[in-house]
Amino acid sequence: MATIVDIATEKALEVKNFEFTYAGADEPNIKKLTMPIAKHSITALIGPSGCGKTTLLRSFNRMHDLYPGNKYDGEILFKEKNILGPKEDLIKLRTQIGMIFQKPTAFPMSIFDNVAYGLRLQGLKNKTELQDRVEKALQDAAIWQEAKERLRHDANGLSGGQQQRLCIARAIAVEPEVLLFDEPTSALDPISTAGIEELVVELRKRVSIIIVTHNMQQAARVSDYTGFMYLGELVELGRTEEIFVTPKERLTEEYITGKFG
């Protein structure tokens, strides 16, 4: 069984005996995973490549449903409700749990329309309100200064780091409760990376964050809690200082000291 620290605060999500099997896989890719996710905190998921971090992350917003044949078991509780049920309203779920991807994914439209996209999907038509919410989101994502002069320009004209912040603005514009980050800086240069990290820390005040990273320093820098996964299982979840200084599991220690990876 995994070693799991008590989460003092409220929980944003609770994973209980969760299993996930990709279409065609012989055995579950995630096995009997139990894990609380603290509210208004940053939880980092670390572990060697292929251990199931992305797979777990994409279960929180049911991204796997886009492809047929994938199978969930167990429970993921969000607002005291299991989101894995067949009747779950995925559209609503995805507006409440947002996601940022490995690479910037600016839509083929203007900067403004990118950020307004989620709002418009929800039916927001009022021009001034749209304007306000877009501006607010861009400010919160620390890209307003760079973007304000060219809101009507194609978003693909922005640099990689700017685009990633645009994607964050787009995600927070709809005011989600949880934000999922899947290695959001893996395609970025060090300076952009530092900017995104700062932003993530700042966002914690408003949303609960889960961030997958293959970069242990990044996990140490930004997160409050760190979960170490190995071969589809959670090995240890603890306060980040503890995980990196006094891990309870041998496997965790071996991983963070670089004995394998």
Query: From another protein, Mg ion, ligand ADP, none, which one binds at residue 29 (CB under 5 to 8 Å depending on kind)?
Result: ligand ADP
Cβ neighbours of 224 (radius 10 Å):
18
Out of 1, 8, 79, 108, name the contact with another protein by CB under 8 A: 108
Smallest gap from residue 204 Cβ to ligand ADP (A): 22
26 near ligand ADP, judged by CB under 6 A: no
Contact flag: residue 21 with ligand ADP (CB under 6 A): no
Q: Give the residue from 247, 229, 208, 254 showing the smallest Cα distance to 18.
A: 229
Q: Is residue 178 a contact residue for ligand ADP (CB under 6 A)?
A: no
Return the number of the residue (55 or 240) whose C-beta is nearest ligand ADP: 55
* Contact residues for 220 (Cβ-Cβ < 8 A; gap 6+): 226, 240, 244
Q: Could you tell which of ligand ADP, Mg ion, another protein, none binds residue 52, using a CB distance below 5 to 8 A set by kind?
A: ligand ADP
Out of 12, 44, 51, 155, the only residue in the binding site for ligand ADP (CB under 6 A) is 51
Q: Which is nearer to another protein, 53 or 170 (CB)?
A: 170
151 binds another protein, rule: CB under 8 A = no
Q: Which stretch binds ligand ADP (CB under 6 A): 21-29, 106-114, 121-129, 144-152?
A: 21-29
DSSP letter at 6 equals P
Stretch that binds ligand ADP, among 46-54, 128-136, 139-147, 157-165 (CB under 6 A): 46-54
53 touches ligand ADP (CB under 6 A): yes
* Burial of 8: CB neighbours in 10 Å, binned 0-12, 13-18, 19+: exposed
Task: Work out the number of other CB atoms within 10 angstroms of the CB of residue 150.
Answer: 14
Cβ-count burial of 182 within 10 angstroms (0-12 exposed, 13-18 middle, 19+ buried)? buried
Could you please report the per-residue DSSP string of 149-174? GGTTSBGGGS-HHHHHHHHHHHHHHT
At CA 70, angle to CA 65 and CA 76, rounded to 5? 70
Measured CA angle at 52 (ends 240, 182), to 5 deg: 65
Q: Which is nearer to Mg ion, 41 or 54 (CB)?
A: 54
Taking the chain, what is the end-to-end CA distance rounded to the nearest angstrom?
A: 21
Q: Which residues bind ligand ADP (CB under 6 A)?
A: 22, 25, 29, 47, 49-55
Footprint of another protein (CB under 8 A)? 61, 63, 66, 68-69, 90-92, 94-95, 98-99, 101-103, 105, 107-109, 117-118, 121-123, 167, 170-171, 174
